[in-house]
Structure formats: C-alpha cells, structure tokens
C-alpha cells in the first residue's frame, strides 16, 4: 500500500507527540501595502527546503537528531484580517497548550499579532525581540489599524511598556523614528544593526521571549524577495551571529516566527534558499539549547 504525500520542511518529519517544536505556515498578505506575495512564503520555504542540508556547519548540529513536526499551512479566509488573526491565535494556542514551541512561517508581518496574542495569554510578561528593517509602529495605515505597518504598535498596546526590543530598523516615517521618551521606553529601537543585542539578551535572562524575524532586515542583495526591500541591510553572516546571540543567552524562547518572504519577487530563488537556511539555524539554535 502506498503512502500519502506528506510534505514537511526538510528534516521535520517527526510525529506530533514526540516533537518539541511545531512549524506552521500562514499564507497571508492582504494588508501588504506595496508588493503582495508573502502568502507564497511558507509553501515555498517548505518545498525549496530540499535544496539545503539538514546539517549546520555553523553549529555542528544535525536537524534529524531532533524531533520537529510540520503542521502545514492554515487555510485562510483571505480578505478578512480579523478572522485570520483569530485562526493564527488558535493555532499558536494549541501548540503552546501542548507545551511545544510554536514556530510560525509567514506571510506578511501582521500575522505576528495573532501569535503574540496567544503567547501573551500564556506568558503575560512576554518580551519581543524584533529583527526588521521597518519599525512597524504606525498608529494606522490610511485608516487601517490591522496592518503590517502597525503590528508592533498593536503588540505594544497589548504588552505594555518596555517589552519590545527592535533591531536593524532603517526605514519608517518620521513619527516612527522621532518619538517621545515615553514611547522610546515602551519600544526600544536600535537603528541599522544589532548594537546592544547581547545586553538585551542578558537582561531578558530567565524571562519569556518571543522572537520575530522580518526577513527584510537582510540587505536586499541577499534577500530581494520581500514586499518592501530596503537597501543598507545587514549581511547574512551578521544576522546568523545575531540569531546565535539570542539562543546563546538564557532567555526562555516561547515562540518564534519568520515573516515577509515573497518568493515570486525573486525569480532566482535565492531569497527562499536563504530563508530555509535561517529556519534551519533557528530550529537548531533552539533545539540544541533546549535538548
């Protein structure tokens, strides 16, 4: 008897019960303001992951030595952000309820709000480490509050002061950069790179942390396939080192995501290959720390 066609991210073929990490994809981009296509991110990452290896020469760790479950993509009611966020929250909650780490692959960055809601329900004192080119701190975008350009503003409303730490930020409107002192304490923004990341990680030792990676933090030379590419980004190895910094610390990672891969915008496929390698490194960073 032949088997059904199960498609996982490479090396993530464990059973649910035995797994400590659960992947899920959110093919959503309805609020993307400039160039849509992030909806194709999760399936592209899964399908193209077979072009990378399960072994990391950076960490000297092998993904098949661990147990990860890939639960596929949510089937979304495209066009209704509220319903979509509810579904994300529900999936994130289900994984948290099983005491596993939810690892969401977006989709545009608004999807992070759904995950944060579930995480904050379980860990009310959760912090966010946010890697991104954009601050995503607008109050609204042409009247829309549930927009990828506002996601960290919405998250900060949920979490309260001093809980969001942004790195790599290099684009936004003036209001997102020139903020009053109160707001700067509410959300701590580091421009251009990762200065101070090691200190942040130390401060967060023992605390629950959600790690959100917007791929456009990378320079568009290496990741052109994203909705709003911003010149002047960080390099791949620099990002890898920053990710290692997070897992090398003692913060308790309780959820993570990778967002804003729009694979079709990069016909060379490199953006997807880069994303796959980052997902592998994030998985191995977490798993080797928590084994």
For 174-187, give one letter per residue: b (16+ CB within 10 A) or e: eebeebeeeeeebb
**8 A C-beta contact, residue 167 and residue 246:** no
**8 A C-beta contact, residue 25 and residue 43:** yes
Residue window 111-140: x/- pattern of binding to a copy of itself, with contact defined by CB under 8 A: ------------------------------
Site for a copy of itself in 241-270 (CB under 8 A): 265-270
- The answer for residues whose C-beta is within 8 angstroms of residue 253's C-beta and 6 or more apart is 101, 209, 210, 211, 246, 247, 286
Part of the chain binding a copy of itself (CB under 8 A), chosen from 3-11, 157-165, 180-188, 196-204? 3-11
Q: Helices 270-289 and 236-248, interaxial angle, to 10°?
A: 20
Part of the chain binding a copy of itself (CB under 8 A), chosen from 76-84, 159-167, 197-205, 251-259? 76-84
Q: Does residue 22 touch a copy of itself according to CB under 8 A? A: yes
**8 A C-beta contact, residue 253 and residue 288:** no
Site for a copy of itself in 83-112 (CB under 8 A): 83, 91, 94-95, 98, 110
Separation between Cα atoms, residue 89 and residue 184, nearest integer Å: 28
Which residues, in sequence order, are bridge partners of residue 188? 165
Q: Shortest gap between Cβ of 149 and a copy of itself (angstroms)?
A: 10
Q: Shortest gap between Cβ of 202 and a copy of itself (angstroms)?
A: 26
Q: Cβ closer to a copy of itself: 171 or 288?
A: 171
Q: Does residue 231 touch a copy of itself according to CB under 8 A? A: yes
**8 A C-beta contact, residue 151 and residue 110:** yes
Q: Cβ closer to a copy of itself: 143 or 182?
A: 143
Query: Which of 59, 158, 188, 222 forms a contact with a copy of itself (CB under 8 A)?
Result: 222
Q: Cβ closer to a copy of itself: 73 or 251?
A: 73
Q: Does residue 35 touch a copy of itself according to CB under 8 A? A: yes
DSSP string across 199-213 = HHHHHTTTSEEEEEE
Site for a copy of itself in 136-165 (CB under 8 A): 141-144, 146-147
Q: Shortest gap between Cβ of 206 and a copy of itself (angstroms)?
A: 29
Q: Does residue 43 touch a copy of itself according to CB under 8 A? A: yes
Q: Cβ closer to a copy of itself: 191 or 289?
A: 191
Which residues, in sequence order, are bridge partners of residue 213? 131, 258
Size of the site for a copy of itself (CB under 8 A): 92
Residue 7 has, within 13 A of its CA and on its CB side, a CA count of 12
The dihedrals phi and psi of 250, each to the nearest 5 degrees, come to -115, 20
Q: Shortest gap between Cβ of 34 and a copy of itself (angstroms)?
A: 5
Q: Does residue 52 touch a copy of itself according to CB under 8 A? A: yes
**8 A C-beta contact, residue 44 and residue 25:** no
**8 A C-beta contact, residue 204 and residue 126:** no
Q: Shortest gap between Cβ of 205 and a copy of itself (angstroms)?
A: 29
Separation between Cα atoms, residue 33 and residue 65, nearest integer Å: 41
The residue assigned the tokens 């917007």 is: 214
Site for a copy of itself in 171-210 (CB under 8 A): 171-174, 177-178, 191-192
Q: Cβ closer to a copy of itself: 51 or 196?
A: 51
């Amino acid at each position: 008897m032949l088997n059904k066609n199960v498609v996982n991210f490479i090396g993530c073929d464990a059973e649910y019960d035995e797994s400590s990490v659960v992947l899920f994809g959110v093919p959503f981009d309805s609020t993307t303001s400039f160039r849509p296509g992030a909806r194709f991110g999760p399936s592209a990452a899964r399908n193209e992951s077979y072009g990378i290896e399960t072994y990391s020469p950076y960490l000297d760790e092998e993904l098949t030595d661990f147990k990860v479950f890939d639960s596929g993509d949510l089937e979304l009611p495209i066009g209704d952000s509220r319903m979509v966020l509810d579904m994300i929250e529900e999936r994130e909650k289900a994984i948290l309820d099983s005491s596993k780490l939810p690892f969401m692959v977006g989709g545009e960055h608004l999807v992070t709000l759904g995950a944060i809601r579930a995480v904050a329900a379980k860990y009310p004192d959760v912090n966010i480490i946010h890697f991104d080119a954009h601050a995503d701190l607008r109050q609204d975008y042409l009247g829309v509050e549930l927009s990828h350009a506002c996601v960290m503003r919405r998250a900060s409303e949920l979490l309260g002061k001093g809980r969001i730490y942004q790195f790599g930020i290099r684009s936004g409107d003036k209001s997102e950069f020139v903020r009053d002192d109160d707001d700067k304490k509410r959300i701590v923004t580091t421009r251009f790179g990762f200065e101070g990341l090691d200190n942040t990680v130390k401060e967060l030792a023992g605390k629950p942390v959600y790690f959100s990676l917007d791929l456009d933090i990378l320079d568009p030379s290496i990741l052109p396939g994203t909705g709003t590419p911003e010149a002047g980004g960080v390099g791949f190895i620099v990002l890898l080192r920053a990710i290692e910094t997070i897992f090398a610390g003692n913060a308790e990672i309780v959820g993570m995501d990778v967002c804003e891969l729009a694979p079709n915008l990069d016909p060379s496929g490199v953006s997807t290959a880069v994303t796959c390698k980052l997902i592998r490194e994030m998985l191995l960073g977490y798993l080797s720390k928590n084994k």
